[in-house]
Amino acid sequence: MNHVLEIAGLTKTFGGLTATDNVSLTVNAGEIHALIGPNGAGKSTLINQICGELMPNAGHIHLAGRDITRLPPAERVALGLGRTFQITSLLDDMTVRENLALAVQAREGGNFRIFDRAANRAEVWDEVAEILAASALGPRAGVTVADLAHGEKKQLELLMALSQRPRLLLLDEPMAGLGHLESQQMIDALLAARGDCAMLLVEHDMDAVFALADRVTVLVYGRVIAAGNADEIRANPAVRDAYLGEEDT
């Protein structure tokens, strides 16, 4: 099989609490794989272990066939891992354009050059212009990030993550706090990007999950209780009990 991401037996404990308990899952090339579960199910802990911000107690993570379980975060990025944050995390003093430029520059390299002019790097700025031209954020390019609306920040995060040209994109609640229209825009943006990279999507918005996901894994109390395609998950009684049922009431 052509797995972009393969997680096997991943376990992480904090003191007595088991946040992820023997979790295994795979993401295939070009696939959107959703990870759902109630609050406190260990979704963010799992994302942070894949990124390398947390070290698992046991288990393995493979990215495109390479064992990345013990690699520092930056090296995982070099191997093709991109992410967005649950709480938007951007460079607040810089403009939209500058944020994107730094993301592109980080990927392009030459980051230790001390005698060049970052403002004159045509390969960076051309690509930034291209990205902005294709995005709804284009007209906002000169706005400082601190002055952006919440939805715009979410969009910018996605653009920055995509500009890294990742093999796998980890999306930590991309719809959180978005209005109906903004959510629809985000879904469209993700659908447009699905050809370029595989995605592991953590999300509470079930409409979005079912609109996007090829496969869904359900996490409850750190454990995988079900996995399958959208229809199977909808029909799964254990999932309805543990999770989907809550929403009906």
Partner 1 sequence: MKREYLILATVFLLLALVPFLAAATGQTSWTRLVGQALIYGMAAASLNFILGYGGMISFGHAAFFGIGGYVVGIMYHHFDAGTSFLGVIPGTDQMLITLPAAVLVAGLAAALVGAMSLRTGGVQFIMITLAFAQMFFFLFISLKTYGGEDGIMVRRTNALPGLDMRNRDTLYWVVLCFAAAYYLFLRRLVQSSFGQIIAGIRQNERRMASMGISTFRYKLYAFILSGMGAGLAGALMVNFLRFASPDMMHWTRSGEFMIMVILGGVGTLAGPFIGAGVLFTVETTLARYTEHWMLPVGILLLVVVLTSKGGLMALIRKLTGGQK
Is 165 one of the binding residues for partner 1 (CB under 8 A)? no
What DSSP string describes 181-230? HHHHHHHHHHHHHTTT-EEEEE-S-HHHHHHH-SEEEEEETTEEEEEE-H
How many residues line the site for partner 1 (CB under 8 A)?
Answer: 36
Is 117 one of the binding residues for partner 1 (CB under 8 A)? yes
Binding segment for partner 1 (CB under 8 A), chosen from 18-26, 86-94, 175-183, 204-212, is: 86-94
Residue from 9, 40, 110, 138 touching partner 1 (CB under 8 A): that is 110
User: Among candidates 157, 163, 172, which has minimal Cα distance to 106?
Assistant: 163
Is 82 one of the binding residues for partner 1 (CB under 8 A)? yes
Q: How far is the CB of 95 from partner 1 (least distance, A)?
A: 12
Is 97 one of the binding residues for partner 1 (CB under 8 A)? no
Is 119 one of the binding residues for partner 1 (CB under 8 A)? yes
Is 95 one of the binding residues for partner 1 (CB under 8 A)? no
Q: Are strands 168-172 and 81-84 parallel, antiparallel or unpaired?
A: parallel
The span from the CA of 55 to the CA of 20, in Å, is 12
CB nearer partner 1, residue 160 or residue 199: 160
- Report the site for partner 1 in 39-78 (rule: CB under 8 A): 51, 53, 72-75, 77-78
Q: How far is the CB of 8 from partner 1 (least distance, A)?
A: 24
Dihedral pair phi/psi, residue 39, rounded to 5°: -55, 140
Is 106 one of the binding residues for partner 1 (CB under 8 A)? yes
CB nearer partner 1, residue 75 or residue 232: 75
Which pair of structure tokens corresponds to residue 173? 């609640």
Residues 6+ apart with CB under 8 A from 4: 27, 28, 29, 31, 63, 64, 167, 168, 198
CB nearer partner 1, residue 100 or residue 239: 100
The span from the CA of 249 to the CA of 243, in Å, is 11
Which pair of structure tokens corresponds to residue 176? 């959180």
Q: CB of 227 within 8 A of CB of 199?
A: no
**DSSP state letter for 95:** B
Residue from 12, 43, 83, 97 touching partner 1 (CB under 8 A): that is 83
Residue entry with tokens 């023997």: 22
CB nearer partner 1, residue 102 or residue 175: 102
Is 174 one of the binding residues for partner 1 (CB under 8 A)? no
Residues in touch with partner 1 (CB under 8 A): 51, 53, 72-75, 77-78, 82-83, 85, 89-94, 101-103, 105-107, 110-119, 121, 160, 164
